[in-house]
Chain A
Amino acid sequence: MEFLVASAIGVMAAAGIYLVLRARTYPVVLGLALLTYATNAFIFVSGRLAINAPPIIRDGVTVYTDPLPQALVLTAIVISFGMTAVIVVLSLRSYLESDSDQVDGKPEEIHNENIESIPDGSQGKTTP
């Protein structure tokens, strides 16, 4: 089980880092979300993996799981959820203002060979 959990966290973190390094904001936002998932899972297992063990003291039980990482991960989930919302809104606003969804904001690089697949920025500006 340790191998499964560790490799799942590793794959998620790797995919997240790859996406964060992309040039457009949408993959970057997805990458940040994946990275926070990997982080949350990592926090959760930092209290060690224990199956069928209660986190709170009970009579007649000798094996416990660590409750603290479960509390920490709740805080981390709430914060990362809020932060993801902020970055979505901010990148959307930046896209609408500059007609460019490049993270470094160079508008001319949008007009590459597959120009058909890119929505027209001026329409996006008037719709909302």
Chain B
Amino acid sequence: MSHWIIFPILLPALMAPILLMSARFDMVLARIFSLATCVALLGVAIRLLVAASDGAVLTYDLGNWPAPFGIVLVLDRLSALMLVLTAVLALLVLLFAIDGDDARGRHFHALYQFQLMGINGAFLTGDFFNLFVFFEVLLIASYGLMVHGGGTNRLKAGVQYVIINLVGSSLFLIAVSMIYSVTGTLNMADLARKVPQVAAGDQALLQMGALLLLLVFSIKAAMVPVHFWLPGTYARAPAPVAALFAIMTKVGAYCIIRLYILAFGADAGDASWLAAPWLLPAALFTLTMGALGVLAARHLGQLAAFAVIASMGVLLATVALFTPASLAAALYYLLHSTLAGATLFLITDLVASRRPGHADALSVAPRFSHLALLAGAFFIAAIAMSGMPPLSGFIGKLLILDAARSHPTAIGFWAMILGTSLLIIIGFGRAGSTLFWKSTGEPDSFPDMPRRNTLSWVSIFALLACTVLLTLFAGPLTRYLDATAAQVFDTGRYTDAVLLPLPQFLDGAEPP
């Protein structure tokens, strides 16, 4: 069993060089290999989900070095869930990319696999310097994917995206070394044991480091005031890349959930619940900015990007309540918002490619081909994203409102979530009626599309079907998520599972 844990990292890491070397001139071969890897990744992820579903925390010591000395991979319910989400999204988005976008530049599939390797690694690792390395792997692949296909606007957005992430990486390293200088460990489980023992004089350094790390994760999660990179990046990236990037913001959210409950949670002494007073206001502010952005957007791509920011606001505000119930609700919303956000970017691309001259601008234009089908897909995605019944967005927000009921700030929290939902509904309603409804009354029409885009449709409707499945199986899923949240809060079990194999005689010989 144990070797399965490293497969989600190993498989793309092996396939990417093969794609780079053997399949660089043969697009058909590259597509087959890439698709096969994604299917295999989904299989492995489901295998790991089954293995983790009994509540065990499974570990994999790289190089067989015991936990605090070597790097360890940790699989629990939360990381298995994130792996499955990544694999589902990667497979469906790849179907869209195979439909032509991957041929617009070189090495799309190799970069795609490296990106998946970085994302899977970030979800699995139990060591936060290793987390930095996987962040860099996923970022450097994302730089390549971001400018895939080229174009002036895309390159400019790409430069800004790379600059803000390089600054973020420097902050990450500074934060890691601040925490290391006080605790002398890089292992998350070991950190959870050492944080309560940190002397009062070193608390300032420790908490400063931890909050800098929160800032870094907030940059990844696009939280206000460090969200500026997201609208430009997502709206200008190629559609399949923007859709895949929907999981990247969730990597930031995952790291916040993991580290600030495990190491800076209930047992952390002076540093307990360190993130909560900063995270909640920032997340609610993010939600407001996202909703206003949805209302003000002039392009469908921008609208989707701001909807993603708003969904990150909802997600992180719910995480910031730091109760098991709120975490379970937040995880449900995380699954939903990743899939719904990705769908919106793919729909945007199909709309833009059918309206030459207008692209994805929210303007009344002549009728375009497949108008009714696209309008239907947009309608479903918009219902999901804005949180209206009957789809998963509604259930997600319902769970969130229910989880926040006993919190001291419940009334303000409810008002914010419901008020911004109204703004988002108005924004989506306006966009949909301009793009689709008013355009049906136009006398002219754009020429029909020569290409049929079968796979693109499969991809979009499969993503929408996932949203429907999230709704239909909300009962079993929320039971699983409740167990997941309980496991995340049971930090003693996590640290015991990671650190227990340590032989007793090594206890006194830890590095300084």
Asked whether any CB of chain B lies closer than 8 Å to the CB of A68, the reply is yes
Q: Which residues of A contact B150 (CB under 8 A)?
A: 97
Asked whether any CB of chain A lies closer than 8 Å to the CB of B166, the reply is yes
In the complex, A47→B174 CA distance in Å?
A: 13
Q: How many residue pairs, one in A and one in B, have C-beta atoms under 8 Å apart?
A: 98
B140 contacts A98, CB within 8 Å? no
In the complex, A72→B163 CA distance in Å?
A: 22
Asked whether any CB of chain A lies closer than 8 Å to the CB of B433, the reply is no
In the complex, A87→B167 CA distance in Å?
A: 12
B:138-181 near A, CB below 8 Å: 140, 143, 147, 150-153, 155-156, 158-160, 162-163, 166-167, 169-170, 173-174, 176-178, 180-181
Q: Which residues of A contact B167 (CB under 8 A)?
A: 20, 32, 35
Which of A25, A66, A104 has a CB less than 8 Å from the CB of B511? A66
Report A17 CB to chain B, min CB distance, Å. 9
**Which residue of A has the minimal Cβ distance to B160?**
A103
Q: B-side interface residues toward A, CB under 8 Å?
A: 129, 133, 136, 140, 143, 147, 150-153, 155-156, 158-160, 162-163, 166-167, 169-170, 173-174, 176-178, 180-181, 184, 186, 511-512
A72 contacts B160, CB within 8 Å? no
A83 contacts B177, CB within 8 Å? no
B166 contacts A83, CB within 8 Å? yes
A87 contacts B177, CB within 8 Å? no
By CB atoms of chain B within 10 A, which of A38, A79, A104 has the most? A79
Q: Which residues of B contact A32 (CB under 8 A)?
A: 163, 166-167, 170
* Interface residues contributed by chain A, number (CB under 8 Å): 37
Q: Which residues of A contact B160 (CB under 8 A)?
A: 103-104
In the complex, A84→B301 CA distance in Å?
A: 30
A90 contacts B159, CB within 8 Å? yes
A:80-128 near B, CB below 8 Å: 80, 82-83, 86-87, 90-91, 93-94, 97-98, 103-105
Which of B140, B158, B177, B512 has a CB less than 8 Å from the CB of A72? B177
**Which residue of A has the minimal Cβ distance to B511?**
A68
A79 contacts B181, CB within 8 Å? no
Q: Given that A83-B136, A86-B143 are known contacts, is A46 also in contact with B155, CB under 8 Å in the complex?
A: no
A90 contacts B147, CB within 8 Å? yes
Which of A20, A80, A94, A104 has a CB less than 8 Å from the CB of B155? A94
A/B interface sample: 26 pairs, CB < 8 A = A32-B170, A35-B170, A39-B170, A39-B173, A42-B173, A42-B177, A43-B173, A48-B181, A72-B180, A76-B173, A79-B136, A80-B166, A80-B169, A82-B140, A83-B162, A83-B169, A86-B140, A87-B166, A90-B159, A93-B155, A94-B158, A98-B152, A103-B160, A104-B160, A105-B152, A105-B156
A46 contacts B169, CB within 8 Å? no
Asked whether any CB of chain B lies closer than 8 Å to the CB of A64, the reply is yes
Q: A-side interface residues toward B, CB under 8 Å?
A: 20, 25, 28, 32, 35-36, 38-40, 42-43, 46-48, 64, 66-69, 72, 75-76, 79-80, 82-83, 86-87, 90-91, 93-94, 97-98, 103-105
A69 contacts B177, CB within 8 Å? yes
B140 contacts A28, CB within 8 Å? no
Q: Which residues of B contact A103 (CB under 8 A)?
A: 159-160, 163
Which of B143, B169, B180 has a CB less than 8 Å from the CB of A69? B180
Report A86 CB to chain B, min CB distance, Å. 6
Report A68 CB to chain B, min CB distance, Å. 6
B178 contacts A46, CB within 8 Å? yes
Q: Which residues of A contact B152 (CB under 8 A)?
A: 94, 97-98, 105
Q: Which residues of B contact A28 (CB under 8 A)?
A: 163
**Which residue of A has the minimal Cβ distance to B135?**
A79
B177 contacts A43, CB within 8 Å? yes
**Which residue of B has the minimal Cβ distance to A71?**
B129
Q: Which residues of B contact A66 (CB under 8 A)?
A: 184, 511-512
In the complex, A83→B139 CA distance in Å?
A: 10
Q: Which residues of A contact B181 (CB under 8 A)?
A: 46-48
Report A36 CB to chain B, min CB distance, Å. 6
Which of A20, A39, A48, A98 has a CB less than 8 Å from the CB of B156? A98
Q: Given that A68-B511, A72-B129, A79-B136 are known contacts, is A87 also in contact with B155, CB under 8 Å in the complex?
A: no
By CB atoms of chain B within 10 A, which of A48, A64, A98 has the most? A98
Q: Which residues of B contact A64 (CB under 8 A)?
A: 512
Q: Which residues of B contact A97 (CB under 8 A)?
A: 150-152, 155
Q: Which 8 A-B pairs have the closest CB atoms?
A: A46-B177, A105-B156, A46-B181, A94-B155, A43-B177, A98-B152, A39-B170, A39-B173
Q: Which residues of A contact B156 (CB under 8 A)?
A: 94, 98, 104-105
- Apart from the given pairs A46-B180, A67-B511, A83-B140, 5 other A-B contacts in the complex at a CB distance below 8 Å: A32-B170, A36-B166, A72-B129, A80-B166, A80-B169
